[in-house]
Amino acid sequence: MTNEFLDKAQEQLNQVVELIEDDLKGVKTGRAKPNLIEDLKVAAYETTMTLKELASISAPDPHSLIISPWDKNILEAIEKSINTSNLGLHPVVDNDLLRIQIPPLTEETRRDLVKLVHQKIESGRKLIRQVRNEIKKEIEDQEGGGGISEDDIKSWLDELQKLVDESSFKFEEMGQNKEKELMTI
C-alpha cells in the first residue's frame, strides 16, 4: 500500500521539478546557450516541431548562436519563429545559416530576470504543495481501512514530507544557481 502513494507522489514531484527546470532554461542569462532556443516551436512540414528537431544549434562564442537547418527550405520558418517568440532575439540569415547575437544584459534587466526566477520557483513550490495535499488526503483516507494501522499512516506521511522537502531543496538549488548565473557578468 505504501509504495502506491509514495511512488505516485515521487512521480508527480519529479514532473514538477522537471517542469520548473525546463521553465528556468528559457530565462536568458546574456550567454549564448543552445537550450535557450532549442525547444522553440517552428511551423514546418505542415506540423509544429521543435527547433532541435529541425536544425543543429551551436554556440561558437558566449555571445552568438548559429543555427544550421538540415533542410535549407525551412530557414524562413525558423527565422519567423525566432522573431515572433518573446525572447527578444533577432536572427540574421547568412547563406544557409542563421546567426543570432545575444545582447549583453543590463543591471536592471538582470534584477528583473532574478525576480522572474523567484516567481517561477514560487510557482513550483505551489505545485509541490498541491501534490503534497492530494497525496496526504489519499493517505489519510486509508485510516480505518483493513490492515492499515495508525503507525503505517504516520510513517507514510513522514515519507511524503521527506519527498516534498527533497523537491523543495532542489528548487532552492536551481534558483540559487540561476540567480548566480544571471548576476555573473
Tens digits of per-residue pLDDT, 122-175? 999 999 999 999 999 988 888 777 777 888 888 889 999 999 999 999 989 998
Give the predicted TM-score (pTM) of the model.
Answer: 0.67
CATH of domain 2-25+106-183: 1.10.132.20
34-101 to CATH, choices 3.30.310.50, 3.90.79.10, 3.30.1360.40, 3.40.50.150: 3.30.1360.40
When pLDDT is cut at 50, 70 and 90, the band that residue 109 belongs to is confident
- Smallest CA-to-CA distance from 98 within 133, 74, 123 is with 74
**Whether the predicted pLDDT of 185 surpasses 70:** no
Q: What is the mean pLDDT of the chain?
A: 86
Place of cell 544571471: 182
Q: Domain residues of the chain, as ranges? A: 2-25+106-183, 34-101
1, pLDDT greater than 50: no
54, 40 contact by CB (below 8 A): no
